[in-house]
């Protein structure tokens, strides 16, 4: 039998590799992006009640109505946008499924999709599997803001989608209103939609951070993707959702209904019970993570690393060029061995990593004690 891979250049992700190495060597794991602390006890209790009290069968394909109504309230609370829970909201098995469904449903063979370099690693394989072609616009350190003229130059009559992500993984940069407006000016006279990955929507540290939910023009032709994993410290639950106008939601649902049909029912029930009880649940998330970011940054201020700006997400970039001229993968492996801290080399997020760039990513969604221990170790290299 001859097997032809549809994704020949995809191997085991660096997250799996670094987490496995960290576990093997007993290193502090600041590589993969997940919290090492517990979610709100009320959520765990709601999940346990849902399991014990019978929410164990298929739920409606688009998500439990109570949850979709609670999501509509959440969107109204944070963005003053009114969305229809019936037509505009679809609950998915994590943001990952939402992104895959959106691309599978809306990108046709030969369509071009503009994304940014660096970008979250899921986007490119999803576009390739759909037969689409990726066109990358470069984001340059240290602030990683888009060069809108360069983005405009990538538009052709085959461009069908722009895939954006703010707050941005892996760089921690956040877009401003000017960025959304520039994007709108570029696409408004073309048949181009936007897939906006906003999984870190509530984790930003600047007043001027923005969401597509708040842009009148863009939101009419965008799918906005969110993740309860990021907002409620529940990455293992894999529950997310997409908000999009009816025409886009209808197409997305055609794929969603055959990929998973529905997302784990008791977890949806727990999330809706919790959101009804605690509609303010996301209000303090930014302050919570700002303290952790500052703890990490203060702990490293006398180290030989240079700290890049961190406006959002729970990731901090460090420049290690004063310490070593090794490539970032080699440096991260040595950090695990010699310092006992696991980080992520950011070259893995690039199609074309900039020559000579020496950056690693640390996740600060960790207990304060873990962060103190890690910064102590990192200050000695």
Ligand X SMILES: Cc1ncc(COP(=O)(O)O)c(C=O)c1O
Nearer residue to ligand X within complex by CB, 85 or 172: 172
Alpha-carbon torsion, ordered 364, 367, 368, 373, to 10 deg = -80
DSSP 314: S
Based on the shown chain and the rule CB under 6 A, indicate whether residue 211 belongs to the binding site for ligand X: no
Comparing CB distances to ligand X, the nearer of 50 and 195 is 195
Q: Interface with ligand X includes 120 (CB under 6 A)? A: yes
Residues 222-251 that bind ligand X (CB under 6 A): 227, 229, 235, 238, 240
Residue 63, interface with ligand X (CB under 6 A)? no
Residue nearest to ligand X (CB): 94
> If you search the block for the tokens 């250049």, which residue do you land on?
9
Q: Does residue 94 belong to the site contacting ligand X (CB under 6 A)?
A: yes
Question: What does residue 357 show for φ and ψ, rounded to 5 degrees?
Answer: -75, 130
**CB neighbours of 76 closer than 8 A, spacing ≥ 6?**
82, 83
348 part of the interface to ligand X, by CB under 6 A: no
Nearer to ligand X among residue 230 and residue 253 (C-beta): 230
Sign of CA dihedral 368, 374, 380, 381: negative
Pairing verdict, β 159-165 and 193-197: parallel
Told to check if 117 binds ligand X by CB under 6 A, we report no
Q: Is the Cβ of residue 85 or residue 229 nearer to ligand X in the bound state?
A: 229
Residues 147-206 that bind ligand X (CB under 6 A): 165, 169, 197, 199
Size of the site for ligand X (CB under 6 A): 14
Instruction: Tell me which stretch binds ligand X (CB under 6 A): 91-99, 183-191, 328-336, 355-363.
Output: 91-99
- 29 binds ligand X per the rule CB under 6 A: no
Query: Would you say 94 or 266 has its CB closer to ligand X?
Result: 94
Q: Are 170 and 199 in contact (CB under 8 A)?
A: no
- List the structure tokens of 250: 């209808």
Other Cβ atoms within 10 Å of 97 Cβ, number: 22
CA gap 369, 339 in Å, rounded? 17
Beta strands across the sheet bearing 112-117: 89-92, 240-243, 222-227, 193-197, 159-165, 112-117, 133-138
CB 89 within 8 A of CB 113: no
Rounded to whole angstroms, how far apart are CA atoms 175 and 208? 8
Q: Which stretch binds ligand X (CB under 6 A): 4-12, 88-96, 172-180, 288-296?
A: 88-96
Which member of 96, 173, 231, 316 binds ligand X (CB under 6 A)? 96
Nearer to ligand X, 92 or 272 (CB): 92
Least gap, CB of 96 to ligand X (angstroms): 3
CB of 50 to ligand X, least distance (A): 19
Cβ closest to ligand X, residue 106 vs residue 164: 164
| Closest by CA position to 223, among listed 149, 147, 157, 160 | 160
Closest distance of CB 156 from ligand X, Å: 26
Residue 162 or 303: the one with the smaller Cβ distance to ligand X is 162
* CB closer to ligand X out of 145 and 304: 145
Q: How far is the CB of 92 from ligand X (least distance, A)?
A: 8
Distance CA 374, CA 381 (A): 12
Query: From the CB of 188, what's the least distance to ligand X, in Å?
Result: 25
β-pair partners for 362:
316
Interacting residue with ligand X among 14, 27, 29, 33 (CB under 6 A): 33
Closest approach of Cβ 355 to ligand X, in Å? 25
To which residue do tokens 């891979």 refer?
5
Q: Which is nearer to ligand X, 242 or 303 (CB)?
A: 242
Contact 201, 226 (CB under 8 A): yes
Show the tokens assigned to 178.
Answer: 């000017």
Please report, as ranges, the residues that interact with ligand X according to CB under 6 A.
33, 94-96, 120, 165, 169, 197, 199, 227, 229, 235, 238, 240
């Amino acid at each position: 039998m001859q097997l032809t891979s549809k994704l020949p250049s995809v191997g085991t992700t660096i997250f799996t590799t670094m987490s496995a190495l960290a576990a093997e060597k007993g290193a502090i794991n600041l590589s993969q992006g997940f919290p090492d602390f517990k979610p709100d006890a009320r959520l765990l209790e709601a999940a346990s009640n849902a399991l014990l009290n019978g929410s164990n069968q298929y739920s409606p394909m688009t998500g439990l109505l109570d949850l979709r109504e609670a999501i509509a309230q959440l969107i109204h609370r944070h963005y003053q946008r009114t969305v229809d829970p019936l037509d505009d909201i679809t609950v998915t098995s994590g943001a990952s499924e939402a992104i895959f469904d959106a691309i599978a449903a809306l990108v046709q063979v030969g369509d071009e999709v503009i994304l940014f370099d660096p970008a979250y690693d899921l986007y490119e394989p999803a576009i390739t599997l759909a037969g689409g072609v990726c066109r990358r616009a470069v984001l340059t350190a240290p602030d990683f803001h888009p060069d809108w003229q360069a983005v405009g130059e990538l538009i052709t009559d085959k461009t069908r989608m722009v895939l954006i992500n703010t707050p941005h993984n892996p760089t921690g940069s956040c877009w401003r209103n000017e960025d959304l407006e520039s994007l709108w000016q570029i696409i408004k006279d073309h048949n181009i939609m936007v897939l906006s990955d906003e999984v870190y929507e509530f984790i930003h540290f600047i007043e001027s951070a923005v969401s597509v939910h708040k842009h009148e023009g863009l939101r009419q032709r965008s799918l906005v993707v969110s993740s309860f994993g990021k907002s409620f410290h529940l990455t293992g639950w894999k529950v997310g959702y997409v908000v999009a106008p009816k025409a886009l939601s209808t197409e997305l649902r055609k794929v969603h209904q055959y990929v998973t049909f529905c997302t784990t029912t008791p977890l949806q029930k727990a999330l809706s019970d919790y959101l009804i009880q605690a509609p303010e649940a996301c209000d303090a998330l930014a302050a919570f993570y700002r303290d952790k970011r500052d703890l990490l940054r203060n702990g490293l201020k006398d180290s030989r690393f240079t700290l890049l700006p961190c406006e959002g997400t729970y990731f901090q970039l460090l420049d290690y060029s004063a310490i070593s001229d090794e490539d970032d993968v080699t440096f991260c492996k040595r950090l695990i061995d010699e310092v006992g801290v696991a980080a992520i080399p950011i070259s893995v997020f690039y199609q074309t990593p900039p020559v000579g760039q020496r950056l690693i990513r640390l996740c600060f969604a960790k207990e304060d004690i873990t962060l103190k221990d890690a910064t102590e170790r990192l200050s000695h290299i």
